[in-house]
Amino acid sequence: EQIFEHVWEYDFGGESNIIEVYVRYLRTKLETNDKPRLIQTVRGVGYALREG
C-alpha cells in the first residue's frame, strides 16, 4: 500500500499483485543464477535490498 502511494501516487483500496509483478521484472534484470537475491521478500513487511 505504501509503495502504491509513494511511487505511483495511487490510492488503491483493494488487493493487487502489481508490486509483485514489477519486483519479478526487476529480479530477472538484476539477478543471475550464480548470485544471491538482491531483492529479498520480507513476509508481512515488504521488500529489502541486500548487498550482492
- The CATH number linked to 22 is 1.10.10.10
Q: What is the pLDDT of residues 1-52, one digit of tens each?
A: 677 777 766 666 556 777 888 889 988 888 877 777 888 999 888 889 887 6
Angle at 39 between CA 33 and CA 43, to 5 degrees: 115
Total domains present in the chain: 1
How high is the pLDDT of residue 12? 61
Percent of the chain that is helix, strand, coil (3-state, to 5)? 35, 15, 50
How high is the pLDDT of residue 13? 59
Say if residues 1 and 11 touch (Cβ distance below 8 Å). no
User: Sign of the C-alpha dihedral, residues 6, 17, 23, 49?
Assistant: positive
**Structural domain of 37:** 2-49
Task: Return the half-sphere exposure (C-beta side, CA atoms, 13 A cut-off) of residue 45.
Answer: 6
